[in-house]
Amino acid sequence: MTEKLSNAQIAWRAAQDIEDEAYVNLGIGFPEMVAKFQPPGRQAIFHTENGILNFGESPAAGEEDWDLINAGKKAVTLKPGAAFFNHADSFAMVRGGHLDVAILGAYEVAENGDLANWSTGPKGIPAVGGAMDLVHGAKRVAVITDHVTKDGRPKLVKHCTLPLTGLACVTRVYTSLAVIDIEGGRFVLREKLPGLSLEQLQAVTGAELVIAGTVADLVAPEVS
């Protein structure tokens, strides 16, 4: 099985489900790509933990203002009406339930919605960070990830084995092979690559995939 979506295509697919004017926090790294793919006629209001609301796309190379960065230390621009605030106020927004969506990466997602997206291993980060607040403060938590690890092990599992970011917090997972909802403690398959059989997908998924209704084709344009 060689066909799969690129990271950009996964990010594009996740962006299609963000409502117009939703307040959205994107995790550091891969999830930041989601901001590039807002559907025509829709525009989210992006929040960053270090204290900006309604920031815009990255500036052109050489035009960065390094006083304007997101939580991942990447330069951003500002949209009309953008606001600045301190770190404590930013997390009050998160913890107070004022974000509609948080989109994060993952090492593991369990069938009950548990999320592990940090690690204390040799190449891990030293602490869970703001993700712990995001997964329980945002109204909806989605994950974007490759379906398997670099050595081919499932990232969607029955039980997480790594340190948890949050319990039963993820509601939808966008992977390189499928779109999967978490409902009633089960992985419910909504979309899959058209050239991939259910048996092939199940073979690289570490818990049972449940079929509830029609499974749509997962199709994404060529984006980068």
| pLDDT exceeds cutoff 80 at 224 | yes
CB-CB contact of 74 with 50 (8 Å):
no
Q: Report the Cα–Cα distance between both ends of the chain, in Å, rounded.
A: 22
Distance CA 38, CA 11 (A): 10
- Does the residue 57 lie in any domain? no
**Nearest in space to 147 (alpha carbons), one of 105, 176, 187:** 176
**Nearest in space to 176 (alpha carbons), one of 1, 9, 26:** 9
- Does the residue 90 lie in any domain? no
Stretch 181-187: mean pLDDT: 97
Query: Tell me, what's the pLDDT at 210?
Result: 98
Mean pLDDT, the chain, as a whole number? 94
Q: Does residue 49 carry a catalytic annotation?
A: yes
Stretch 9-26: mean pLDDT: 97
Query: Tell me, what's the pLDDT at 125?
Result: 59
What domain count does the chain have? 1
Query: Tell me, what's the pLDDT at 201?
Result: 98
Structure tokens at 59: 């500036």
- Does the residue 206 lie in any domain? yes
- Using pLDDT thresholds of 50, 70 and 90, give the confidence band for residue 184: very high
Q: What is the tens place of the pLDDT at every residue in 137-164?
A: 999 999 999 999 999 999 999 999 999 9
Q: What is the tens place of the pLDDT at every residue in 99-141?
A: 999 999 999 999 999 999 987 666 655 667 789 999 999 999 9
- Name every residue whose Cβ is closer than 8 Å to that of residue 91 and which is 6 or more positions away in sequence: 49, 130, 133
Query: Tell me, what's the pLDDT at 119?
Result: 74
- Using pLDDT thresholds of 50, 70 and 90, give the confidence band for residue 57: confident
Could you tell me which residues are beta bridge partners of residue 88? Answer: none
Stretch 53-69: mean pLDDT: 93
Q: Which of 3, 19, 21, 49 is catalytic?
A: 49
- The pTM of this model reads 0.94
- Does the residue 45 lie in any domain? no
- Does the residue 124 lie in any domain? yes
| pLDDT exceeds cutoff 60 at 1 | no
Range of the domain at 165: 7-33+99-217
- Does the residue 201 lie in any domain? yes
- Does the residue 111 lie in any domain? yes
Q: What is the tens place of the pLDDT at every residue in 64-88?
A: 999 999 998 999 999 999 999 999 9
DSSP state of 124: S
- Does the residue 2 lie in any domain? no
**DSSP-derived secondary structure for 107-176:** SEEETTS-EE----STTS-SS-TTHHHHHHHSSEEEEEE-SB-TTS-BSEESS--SPPSBSS---EEEES
| pLDDT exceeds cutoff 90 at 2 | no
Query: Tell me, what's the pLDDT at 128?
Result: 75
Percent of the chain topping pLDDT 70: 96
CATH classification of the domain holding 162: 3.40.1080.10
